[in-house]
Chains A and B, each alone.
Chain A
Amino acid sequence: SQQGEEDPQALSIQEGENATMNCSYKTSINNLQWYRQNSGRGLVHLILIRSNEREKHSGRLRVTLDTSKKSSSLLITASRAADTASYFCATLGSGGGADGLTFGKGTHLIIQP
């Protein structure tokens, strides 16, 4: 199964600034997904980028994927206090079979009002 590793582990910025989080993985993938987790709750899917895509936008979110470097980044623009959460990446393998989604330890993002 695949595993994403996020960095930094923790990030604290001022409201209104942009937040960038990175994810690295090890083997070939079908797609990469970013999730968000508010304290005490389940993960919520944010955005999915396929291996043949290089960039994707959704509202204030921008995701890039570099398959040559096996890395992805998640950019949150014009951050808000409500964006405070942990963010995780997960990958789906390209083997075509049933793959487990594995997650890293996540990036804990704190937006200071």
Chain B
Amino acid sequence: DAGVIQSPRHEVTEMGQEVTLRCKPISGHNSLFWYRQTMMRGLELLIYFNNNVPIDDSGMPEDRFSAKMPNASFSTLKIQPSEPRDSAVYFCASRGANTEAFFGQGTRLTVV
């Protein structure tokens, strides 16, 4: 298995634009997590899914953020409209039942 795959690896966009981050979890994993990491806030859990269903989105900072998991092999995190303070590294992770989480390489987002 290639592990958790995130795309793009880097994204630079102008303030106000829509940004879509993508994640392909490891096959067979039933939980998927989206995290945001910054120097100030550390690693924040934004939302997680279990069996494609959003379980807890209390970490999503604002209504500008939305996440979907249309099937077991794909998830998106969308920011619309984007703002400079959204600049961060966004990680996706997946895990099976009672196992460790496997992280993707992250998407470094810069909003100018």
Chain A contacts to B: CB under 8 angstroms: 1, 30-31, 33, 35, 40-45, 48, 88, 90, 92, 98, 100-106
Within the complex, the shortest CB–CB distance from B20 to chain A, in Å, comes to 19
Do the beta carbons of A104 and B93 come within 8 Å of each other?
Answer: no
26 A-B pairs with C-beta separation under 8 A: A30-B98, A41-B105, A41-B106, A42-B91, A42-B93, A42-B103, A43-B43, A43-B101, A43-B103, A45-B101, A45-B102, A48-B99, A98-B31, A98-B50, A98-B51, A100-B45, A100-B48, A100-B59, A101-B33, A101-B48, A101-B93, A102-B45, A104-B42, A105-B42, A105-B43, A106-B42
- When chains A and B are docked, how far (Å) is the Cα of A35 from the Cα of B101? 9
Number of interface residues of B (CB under 8 A): 26
Q: Is the CB of B104 within 8 A of A101?
A: no
CB-defined contacts of A41 to chain B, threshold 8 Å? 105-106
Inter-chain CA distance A91–B95, complex, in Å, is: 13
B45 engages A88 (CB within 8 Å): no
Tell me the chain B residues, 33-81 only, with Cβ under 8 Å from chain A: 33, 35, 42-43, 45, 48, 50-51, 55-56, 59
Bound state CA distance, A35 and B102, in angstroms? Answer: 10
A101 to B101, CA, bound (A): 8
Nearest Cβ in chain A — how far from B43, in angstroms?
Answer: 5
